[in-house]
Amino acid sequence: MAWKPTQIPDQTGRTFVITGANGGLGTETTKVLAAKGATVIMACRNAEKAKSVADSIPGDVRTATLDLADLDSVRKFAETSGEFDVLVNNAGLMNVPFSRTKDGFETQWGVNHLGHFALTGLLLDRIGDRVVTLASIAHKQTPKFWVDDLNYENRRYQRNLAYAQAKLSNLMFARELQRRLGEAGSAKRSYGVHPGVSATDLFARTETPLDLVSKPFIRLIGHAPAKAAHSTLFAATMPDADPETYWGPARLMQSQGPVEPSPSSKLSQDRELWRRLWEESERLTGVTYKF
């Protein structure tokens, strides 16, 4: 039988931090967790929008300012955070024009991966249970992982490949974090998940004519944001969820369907690439994990 959020145990007394929770999958995840009794902290760049969304959701929903494109903001958020149970690395950008973050990183990789890498490392000692990181079926779209030029210093920018690289990084980071937690004997867990395809605002920020037509098309092949959030909710709440499994929809080329084990690319399973990505991420962010 397909898993549904009605199977989530009571979450009273548990606290979740969700990045980018002021829209799309983040908002849907927040709604369900708050309804289950959890305290949810929406960590968002746009504080005003976050507060408006939080005020519309019944339950204990709070907001905090976090800009993943600015490592100073990431550090400030971490410095003011107390202990909590689950971190959901949800925020992301997709197929945007070339730009760099405040710290000089290519923006898609800098926000989607490096910001979350730094955030997780700075918060790891305060996370009581698990980390859930959202990857994407788009991770399969890159034919290579340019581990020696992840920051686009020496190659032509292609926005679709930059997004694929960022999402591949998310999945490899989730897996390497789980490997290191296990090696350290930690009971904490790290999950990589994907939502399938859903018509969220990610499909309306490319600054191209596709912004006008992509969401209606995506609605035809994907599923609603409320269903796309199921894989995040499953990994974030179910006690027996296997952290070694890539959770997400697997039907219609992984674009929709119930939560189940989902296939990933050969690149995403390369443990040497996991290690090299980790080391490069530590070097660029200045964040070293302590297990």
Looking at this protein, which amino acid is placed at residue 82? Answer: G
Is the distance from CB of 100 to CB of 110 less than 8 angstroms? yes
Strand ranges (E), the chain: 15-19, 39-44, 60-65, 84-89, 127-134, 189-193, 247-248, 260-261
CA 57 – CA 274 distance, rounded (Å): 38
The structure tokens 């995506």 sit at 218
- Please confirm, yes or no, whether 163 is among the known catalytic residues: yes
CA distance 278 to 128: 22
Cβ(92)–Cβ(112) below 8 Å: yes
Which structure tokens are listed for 192? 């990589």
Give the CA dihedral 32, 169, 220, 26, nearest 10 degrees: 20
User: Among 152, 157, 163, 246, which one carries the catalytic annotation?
Assistant: 163
Tokens of 247: 């959770």
Q: Which residues 6+ apart lie within 8 Å of 242 measured at CB?
A: none
Give counts: helices (H), strands (E), the chain: 11, 8
Q: Which residues are catalytic?
A: 163
